[in-house]
Amino acid sequence: MRVIGYTYPWDLTEDPWRRDRVLGLGLDAVAVAGAYHAVRAATSTHPRQRTKVASHAAFYRPVDPSRFGTLVPRPAGWTESADAFGETVALLQGAGVPALAWTVLSHSSELGGRHPDHTVVNAFGETYPWALCTSHPDTLALAAALVSELSAGHQLDGYVLEAVGHLGFEHGGLHDKTMSYSALERSLLSTCFAPCCREARGTDADDDLAAAVREAMQPGGAAGHPDADLAGVLGAERTDLLAAGQERAVGGMAAAVAEVLPPSVEVHLPASPDVHASGPFAPVGPALRGLPAGTAPFAAAWGSLDKIETQVRTLVEASDGAPVGAYLTYIEPGAPPLAEQVARAAEAGASSVHLYHLGLCSAAQLDEVAALVQSLR
């Protein structure tokens, strides 16, 4: 069982206590946020602050605009170093810990806000500033540039590629009051009708698809029925059209990134077994078809032990023999003991666990990680 931890750059570059603790854990690899969305993070052992407010999506290295296209990420203004990512990689590798670049590809309210013509648009014509349309060539160029620039000057050991595929309706960055929408309605609202996605699916068929989505979401419409599902509401033909669109959009982004990945790096993919999935966890089939052989998808395995088992098993079944991992949290109140989570994930077929999160957790929770790693050695 491989054990991979997650961290923000400031957790190691600004917090000596945590840095020493993390470097001594004996982890197989640590993923460091290099291109990352906005966040308000706990910094419970930082010598000078107790919260870190990353007020916009940022690139944690110096930004050279000439290396990017139309979409140029902003650097972070809240880290003590301009190359916080690069320094963290050097700290990890200097201590013999492989370093992975945790790279968020299509989620940036900062870029979506500045470039509304590059965002996801729903069937009602509403733009989602937090979500870049992954059929747009400029989004592909951004993804490729982020990946290239993170490895500039470093021999990274690998990448965690988050949001290979567009984000949809879900967005944790606002005070959400959307609880009345069902999972199906959220899925319908997540379908992208931006020009590039429409063009890729074929405009005539797309007018019909958008009308069907709107119809299903009228008061008393089919989407509101508790037993409704996508194919039942849209019909098999339109559902297949959507799946083919996902294949092109997600597969296209995966292929664009694969072209610039350094040779022989390990690649980890937050993934969903559902071809219609939107969000950080990309549809596993199309994404794996674009990414290099050996890419390891991993499942969102948060919650009860039974839920962990189901999530991992379902992804294993959808992943065509790829080595599957489990994304586990031990920082949520009420989370099962980490050792039990790992045991259940292994039973379900996981060969790696991704531990969220070495910077956000308490000192006692770091002890839990240390005990886990010792027990596995």
Residues in the site for Zn ion, rule: CB under 5 A?
A: 133, 135, 192, 194, 197
Is the four-CA dihedral 369, 24, 100, 59 of positive or negative sign? Answer: positive
Nearest distance from C-beta of residue 100 to Zn ion, angstroms: 28
Amino acid at the residue 233: V
Cβ neighbours around 283 below 10 Å, total: 24
Nearest distance from C-beta of residue 122 to Zn ion, angstroms: 10
Angle of CA points 119, 121, 123, to nearest 5°: 170
Nearest distance from C-beta of residue 139 to Zn ion, angstroms: 8
Q: Using the minimum distance from each CB to Zn ion, give the nearer residue, 58 or 194.
A: 194
Nearest distance from C-beta of residue 133 to Zn ion, angstroms: 3
Nearest distance from C-beta of residue 239 to Zn ion, angstroms: 17
Q: Using the minimum distance from each CB to Zn ion, give the nearer residue, 103 or 191.
A: 191
Amino acid at the residue 186: R
Q: Using the minimum distance from each CB to Zn ion, give the nearer residue, 160 or 192.
A: 192
Cβ neighbours around 35 below 10 Å, total: 26
User: Within 13 Å of residue 255, how many CA atoms lie on the same side as its CB?
Assistant: 12
How far is Cα of residue 364 from the mean position of the Cα atoms in its chain? 27
Q: Using the minimum distance from each CB to Zn ion, give the nearer residue, 133 or 291.
A: 133
Give me the residues paired with residue 107 across strands: 131
Q: Using the minimum distance from each CB to Zn ion, give the nearer residue, 197 or 326.
A: 197
- Quick check: 168 and 197 in contact, CB under 8 A? no
DSSP 75: B
How far is Cα of residue 205 from the mean position of the Cα atoms in its chain? 30
Q: Using the minimum distance from each CB to Zn ion, give the nearer residue, 158 or 251.
A: 251
Nearest distance from C-beta of residue 121 to Zn ion, angstroms: 7
Q: Using the minimum distance from each CB to Zn ion, give the nearer residue, 133 or 216.
A: 133
Give me the residues paired with residue 162 across strands: 104
Nearest distance from C-beta of residue 252 to Zn ion, angstroms: 11
Residue 31 to residues 198, 201, 210, Cα–Cα distance (Å): 35, 35, 39
Spatial distance between the Cα atoms of 41 and 44, rounded to a whole number of angstroms: 9
